[in-house]
């Protein structure tokens, strides 16, 4: 990737909070105009990385750039070209919808009308409530207002920290549709989420755990890199099945996944007779009324594999 194609780059970034290592020598790069997802559970380091990239805090070590600007030396320039929507609603609850939008436009010395076409499809649903205080909006409406305020100066890079957490499924779907439309304006979008299904909506993703990147690729590339054969098992006594499967040497990992358990089997040990032999082994151990089948891995399965395998670290 040419340096001129890179919008966001972090190299060897680390950050500690007392004895807690939030980021551990983390490196990643985001191409111009792409939608890049930071995927990981709470505590993975996503918010800390966002605060560093948006120049709100400094790393203990490492370097990072936004559109070629250094986060330490050029923080004023970076703040003029980025939009940031933190995980918690951070607008002024005692101001109305229109007042919040006007305030953020004035901060960047622009008029709302200047970039209104950029936010029109987002803002149209809350425009009828322009005189309502922001604190009285629903969760989905607050989300749209926050996104409108983050975009009002037409940033080159948009950072969205877990924007769909706590939002209903319909609003989640609408939000990602909005992001897809924003890509047509050439805006680089970096979004973090703990919802693994949202990873599939990104151009590329980085799977993060404990402040380190486990894997970075397109969603399809991450899935294709899965190294094991994956089975699903379900039955009457799921607890007993889980305990029994964890005692087998060929089982690299087994974990609950909805109403099933997912079993990762070393590909070298798997053959077309394996399910029959596993069924027989479980029945000999007293297990009854269960079903097993081969399944395709998801992003979440890949995350679990990389988490269990230190070689997955980049």
Task: Kindly report which listed range (19-28, 90-99, 165-174) carries the lowest average pLDDT score.
Answer: 165-174
**Model confidence band, residue 109 (pLDDT cutoffs 50, 70, 90):** very high
Cβ(118)–Cβ(158) below 8 Å: no
CB atoms within 10 A of CB 54: 21
Task: Map tokens 């936004």 to a residue.
Answer: 66
β-pair type (35-39, 188-193):
parallel
Provide the 10 A C-beta neighbour count for residue 45. Answer: 25
Give residue-wise pLDDT tens across range 254-267. Answer: 999 989 999 999 88
Helix (H, G, I), strand (E, B) or coil at 149: helix
Element of type H or E holding 307 = helix 299-308
Q: Indicate whether 3 pLDDT > 80.
A: no
Cα 178 to the center of its chain, rounded Å: 16
Domains and CATH numbers, the chain: 3-223 (3.40.50.300), 227-296 (3.30.70.100)
pLDDT of residue 168: 79
Task: Render pLDDT for 67-87 as a digit per residue (tens, 0 to 9).
Answer: 999 999 999 999 999 999 998
CA-based torsion, 266, 271, 275, 280: positive or negative: negative
User: Using CA atoms in the order 30, 35, 38, 41, what is the torsion angle rounded to 10 degrees?
Assistant: 180
Is the CB of residue 214 less than 8 Å from the CB of residue 24? no
What CA–CA distance (Å, rounded) separates 141 from 138? 5
Q: Within a 10 A sphere around the Cβ of 123, how many other Cβ atoms?
A: 21
Burial readout 204-220 (b: 16 or more C-beta within 10 A, e: otherwise): bbbbbbebbbbbbbebe
Distance CA 154, CA 81 (A): 8
Read off the pTM.
Answer: 0.89
């Amino acid at each position: 990737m040419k340096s001129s194609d890179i919008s966001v780059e972090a190299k060897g970034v680390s950050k500690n909070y007392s004895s807690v290592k939030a980021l551990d020598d983390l490196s990643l790069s985001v191409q111009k105009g792409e939608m890049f997802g930071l995927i990981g559970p709470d505590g993975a380091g996503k918010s800390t990385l966002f605060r560093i990239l948006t120049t709100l805090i400094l790393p203990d070590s490492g370097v990072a750039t936004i559109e070629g600007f250094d986060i330490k030396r050029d923080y004023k320039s970076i703040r003029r070209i980025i939009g940031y929507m933190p995980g918690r609603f951070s607008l002024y609850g005692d101001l109305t919808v229109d007042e919040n939008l006007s305030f953020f436009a004035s901060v960047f010395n622009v008029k709302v009308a200047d970039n209104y076409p950029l936010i029109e499809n987002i803002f149209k649903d809350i425009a009828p409530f322009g005189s309502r205080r922001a604190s009285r909006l629903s969760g989905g409406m607050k989300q749209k207002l926050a996104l409108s305020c983050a975009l009002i100066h037409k940033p080159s890079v948009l950072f969205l920290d877990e924007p769909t957490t706590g939002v209903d499924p319909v609003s989640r779907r609408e939000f990602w549709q909005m992001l897809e439309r924003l890509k047509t304006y050439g805006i680089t979008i970096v979004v973090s989420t703990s919802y693994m299904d949202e990873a599939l909506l990104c151009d590329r993703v980085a799977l993060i755990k404990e402040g380190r990147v486990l894997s970075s690729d397109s969603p399809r590339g991450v899935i294709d890199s899965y190294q094991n054969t994956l089975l699903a098992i379900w039955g009457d006594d799921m607890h007993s099945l889980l305990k029994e499967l964890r005692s087998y040497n060929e089982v690299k990992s087994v974990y609950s996944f909805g109403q099933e358990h997912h079993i990762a089997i070393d590909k070298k040990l798997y053959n077309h007779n394996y399910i029959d032999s596993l069924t027989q082994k479980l029945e000999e151990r007293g297990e009854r009324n269960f079903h097993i089948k081969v399944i395709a891995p998801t992003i979440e399965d890949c995350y679990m594999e990389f988490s269990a395998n230190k070689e997955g670290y980049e």
